[in-house]
A = this chain, B = another copy of it.
């Protein structure tokens, strides 16, 4: 079968061969006998591996080579959908979501105007309404935008909070404003600090509020910091409460924080990038009680809901604010005299111009699973976390970073090799323990059997952070991980 391709023959055959390569990759991804990754250093990749050259030249490569390139690109990559890939909050490979992304690529359009993306704009509207309803705002006030990731969504929250209180910021800049202060917990994602750096607020003006041992913001500390800022003549503006911290998976006490925000007239943002998925379950959604009082919310379906990257929603309660804050009315794009209702030209609401279509895969997955399907999935992730938690408690050579049943799918722990078990807890042992996780991780990468992340946090030395967001993972994979850590770390 042939049609036209770029004025030449369109090779359906080529695309079919690519699809064949992708199918065989997908099968390997789900296969526990295959490796999660086949590690090579950057200089090896840049120098070229067994006929896999990344070089770009003046002359074209034949289509056969392009197919080899596709195969090799996958071969030397990381199988993020593998049942034993636990490295990031985003993992898994959902087939419906994947189909959605293939279709999105084929449609190859842009979210800035209704004119060229009518269906996707309608889907964004439907999804935002649905998410508003689920957060407890009710669907009438739906406003928001899908953005290129949680950090940008959190950036939006600071931009609109600032504009709401000081609309002159848009034309006059920060020099027209008093000294503003933002608050986020010491366990919050670094994106609030990043927003402060980017927006001209300055990272010094983000106060890191103390957390309890579970990583939850302490409301009393928040209030004390607000009062302190006021005494210093500063203007407290914004609080970012986290619903599901990156490392501990902790939920800040949203209702208490909402009370404080109300008392001091502060913008309340909830970063539920990671934990937002729990809103889909009747069993666990109570952990986000109080979110309905937020002014804005970040919720990334590409994390707990398993949507392919990228898919991040920024939700805002007050309709029209996002538009007022960001619009510049570029006439070449947003003509007021169009055939259709131009309120559906979403481009002027954003800090971008063109915007990738991130909604279709989520919409399609929601159609295919239903809200209940997501619920089943997420409940299962929490059961896996509970299983791991119990396993760790039962084993002598592992130690939990904090006790208590997991509230989200994060489980943080140390592996204590035999040599360290003989040394009493103290600075000496801690120093050695700090080396353990990095060494095991390095071996893990080289062997490619599984992948899990580690990091220090506050005064805690390097520990492993397990998360569950991969539908392919089973309890036996957890057993495998623990045995693998033991195997790789036993001699340390």
Contact = CB atoms under 8 A, between A and B. Distances in A.
Contact of A63 (B3, B26, B368): B368
Contacts of A65: 367
Interface stretch (A191-199, A251-259, A289-297, A422-430): A191-199
Contacts of A169: 197, 200, 202
Interface string A298-341: 00001000001110000000000000001010111101011111
A418 B408 CA distance: 69
A293 B152 CA distance: 31
Contacts of A471: 6-7
Interface residues of A, number: 168
A414 interface: no
A73 B360 contact: yes
Interface string A55-69: 111111101011001
A398 interface: no
Contacts of A37: 118
Interface string A90-120: 1011111011011101111110001111111
Contact of A159 (B66, B105, B198): B198
Contact of A363 (B54, B110, B338): B54
A371 B177 CA distance: 50
Contacts of A451: 115-116
B81 A309 contact: no
A118 B58 contact: no
Contacts of A330: 190
Contacts of A367: 56, 60-61, 65-66, 69
A92 to B, nearest CB: 8
5 contacts: A42-B344, A60-B368, A63-B368, A170-B197, A310-B356
